[in-house]
Amino acid sequence: MKKNTITALTAALCLLCTGLPAPSIMTSSAVVSAADEELTYENLTYVVENDSITITKCDKTAETVEVPAMIDGLP
C-alpha cells in the first residue's frame, strides 16, 4: 500500500513538472539572427554565419555541382 502511494505521488510530481516552462530552451530558440539572409552563387543557396558560408540549398535541376573553396572571400 505504501509503495503504491509513493509511486502515485512520484508519477503525479513528474506530470506536474512536465507542464513547467524550460527557460533555457525558450530563450535559445527565441534568438533570431538578422544576418541569416539567403544569398545565391551560381546554382547554390547559402547563408553567412560567423564569417563563414553555409550552403543550404542546391538547384535540383543542375546536372553537376561544383562547390568552391570560397564564396565572396569567405570559406
Question: Under a CB-based contact definition with an 8 Å cutoff, are residues 39 and 46 in contact?
Answer: yes
Dist CA 1 CA 22 (whole Å): 34
Dist CA 71 CA 45 (whole Å): 11
What pLDDT was estimated at residue 34?
54
Q: For residue 13, name the pLDDT band (cuts at 50, 70, 90).
A: confident
* pLDDT tens per residue across span 14-67: 767 776 666 655 454 445 555 568 999 999 999 998 889 999 999 999 888 899
What is the strand order of the sheet 44-49 is part of? 39-41, 44-49, 52-58
